[in-house]
């Protein structure tokens, strides 16, 4: 769990990764299963291979999280389709790494050290706490930095081979602005911090009530003076716990209705009652709020420019990967 959390911060630091989140959020989750897996090769990508255990190490935790968080159930065909999608992402990952090596892209020790400090600072952890979080998940600072280096190298490749060749014209911005300018009055925004106790999908009514009681006890302790940040670290089961429970910024209407109502009713610094959603029991605190804003034309055009640019980058990446696959030796055996 903590490895996922730390990787989430890494991805935010080194920009939004183009490769879809199902891989990025799952690839480092350790695999533990009761059933023995008979090892075999499921894909060959030029000189590299992907094994069944590598695939299962991603797909099984991903499916388990979907079941726990969204009460999702999967039949045999759905599981196979999910694994095919994840395998395709693993193949893309191999191709990107190989291309970065071919182009001799490098990330210096100083760059990795600076990125590590920024990740740690953003997570609001001391050096000792950061290393402890890694150690609890079987990682050392050295192994973590190797993964960070690889991620930075991939982003450098995407910058060089894709982003540098993408641009948005004034005509494109003008046309989009004429069609969508009424959409750019910014609704109220709120930045939230939360403690979340997850309700597993198979919970009995009694277990749900016990979880609610624990949440009420945590909130009572906060109201009596306990530090919210410390309570997040001790009790929150959400992936944002490593960053102090900071959920980020939301516009009105983007959250579960119960969370949305509380978030936009509370004042900055106030703590909500215990709120139940399909995901679990939440205790939220408002870190910052902004009232409804009317964007200037210049601000609207800047946002449109960024939107169109990101769309073009995503499209260009898909075409670039497609081209890499065409000139590569890729065999799938699943």
Give one DSSP letter per residue of 164-214, joined into a string: GG----HHHHHHHHHHHGGG-EEPPEEEEEEEEEE--TT--HHHHHHHHHH
**Residue 134 banded pLDDT, cuts 50, 70, 90:** confident
Lowest pLDDT segment from 79-93, 218-232, 250-264, 291-305: 291-305
* Residues whose CB is less than 8 angstroms from the CB of residue 89 and which lie 6 or more positions away in sequence, other chains included: 19, 20, 22, 23
**More confident: 11 or 97:** 97
> In this structure, is residue 137 part of a structural domain?
yes
Name the domain count of the chain: 2
* Tens-place pLDDT, residues 50-108: 999 989 888 887 777 666 655 556 678 888 888 999 999 999 989 999 999 999 999 99
**Residue 123 banded pLDDT, cuts 50, 70, 90:** confident
Same domain, yes or no: 19 and 156: yes
> In this structure, is residue 63 part of a structural domain?
yes
> In this structure, is residue 299 part of a structural domain?
no
Same domain, yes or no: 190 and 154: no
Contact of 190 with 286, CB cutoff 8 Å = yes
> In this structure, is residue 205 part of a structural domain?
yes
Same domain, yes or no: 203 and 265: yes
Same domain, yes or no: 8 and 156: yes
Same domain, yes or no: 61 and 123: yes
* Phi, psi values for residue 44, rounded to 5°: -115, 130
Confidence (pLDDT) at 163: 94
Name the β-bridge partners of 294: 185
* Residues whose CB is less than 8 angstroms from the CB of residue 100 and which lie 6 or more positions away in sequence, other chains included: 153, 154, 156, 157
Mean pLDDT (whole number) for 113-117 = 93
Same domain, yes or no: 139 and 202: no
- Cα–Cα dist 124/136, whole Å: 18
> In this structure, is residue 244 part of a structural domain?
yes
* Residues whose CB is less than 8 angstroms from the CB of residue 190 and which lie 6 or more positions away in sequence, other chains included: 249, 250, 252, 263, 264, 286, 288, 289, 290
Confidence (pLDDT) at 72: 56
CATH number at residue 236: 3.10.50.40
Contact of 210 with 216, CB cutoff 8 Å = no
* Tens-place pLDDT, residues 235-245: 998 878 877 88
Contact of 87 with 42, CB cutoff 8 Å = yes
163: tokens are 């982003």
**More confident: 276 or 186:** 276
Dihedral, CA of residue 126, residue 122, residue 147 and residue 142, to nearest 10: -20
Same domain, yes or no: 126 and 200: no
> In this structure, is residue 309 part of a structural domain?
no
Confidence (pLDDT) at 6: 44
Same domain, yes or no: 6 and 139: yes
- Cα–Cα dist 84/78, whole Å: 10
Same domain, yes or no: 93 and 122: yes
* Tens-place pLDDT, residues 15-45: 333 333 333 333 333 333 444 557 899 999 9
CATH number at residue 119: 1.10.4030.10
Mean pLDDT (whole number) for 1-28 = 37
Same domain, yes or no: 149 and 232: no
Mean residue pLDDT across the chain = 83
- Cα–Cα dist 275/279, whole Å: 10
Same domain, yes or no: 234 and 110: no
Mean pLDDT (whole number) for 203-214 = 89
* Phi, psi values for residue 107, rounded to 5°: -125, 125
Nearest to 243 by CA among 262, 258, 229, 257: 229
Same domain, yes or no: 189 and 122: no
Which residue segment(s) compose the domain that 82 sits in? 2-164+317-332
> In this structure, is residue 208 part of a structural domain?
yes
* CB-CB neighbours of 128 under 10 Å: 8
* Tens-place pLDDT, residues 40-62: 999 999 999 999 998 988 888 77
* Tens-place pLDDT, residues 281-299: 999 999 999 887 777 889 8
Lowest pLDDT segment from 13-17, 92-96, 117-121, 147-151: 13-17
């Amino acid at each position: 769990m903590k490895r996922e959390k730390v990787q989430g911060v890494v991805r935010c630091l080194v920009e939004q990764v183009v490769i879809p989140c199902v891989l990025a959020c799952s690839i480092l989750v350790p695999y533990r299963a009761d059933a023995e897996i008979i090892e075999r090769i499921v894909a060959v990508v030029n000189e590299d291979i992907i094994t069944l255990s590598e695939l299962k190490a991603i797909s099984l935790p991903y499916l388990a999280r979907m079941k726990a968080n969204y009460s999702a159930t999967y039949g045999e065909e759905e599981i196979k389709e999910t694994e095919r999608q994840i395998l395709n992402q693993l193949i893309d990952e191999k191709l990107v790494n190989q291309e970065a090596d071919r182009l001799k892209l490098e990330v210096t020790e100083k760059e990795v050290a600076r990125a590590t400090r920024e990740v740690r600072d953003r997570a609001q952890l001391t050096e000792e706490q950061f290393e402890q979080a890694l150690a609890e998940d079987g990682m050392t600072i050295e192994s973590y930095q190797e993964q960070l280096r690889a991620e930075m190298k991939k982003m450098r490749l995407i910058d060089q081979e894709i982003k540098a060749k993408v641009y948005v014209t004034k005509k494109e911005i003008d046309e989009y602005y004429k069609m969508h300018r009424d959409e750019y009055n910014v609704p109220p925004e709120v930045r939230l911090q939360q403690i979340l106790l997850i309700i597993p999908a198979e919970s009995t009514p009694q277990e749900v009530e016990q979880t609610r009681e624990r949440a009420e006890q945590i909130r009572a302790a906060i109201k009596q003076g306990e530090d919210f940040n410390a309570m997040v670290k001790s009790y929150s089961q959400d992936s944002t716990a490593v960053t102090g429970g900071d959920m980020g910024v939301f516009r009105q209407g983007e959250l579960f209705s119960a969370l949305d109502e509380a978030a936009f009713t509370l004042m900055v610094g106030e703590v909500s009652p215990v709120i139940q959603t399909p995901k679990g029991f939440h205790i939220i605190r408002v870190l910052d709020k902004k009232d409804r804003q009317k964007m200037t034309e210049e601000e609207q055009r800047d946002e449109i420019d960024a939107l169109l640019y990101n769309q073009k980058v995503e499209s260009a990446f898909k075409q670039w990967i497609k081209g890499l696959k065409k000139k590569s030796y890729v065999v799938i055996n699943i």
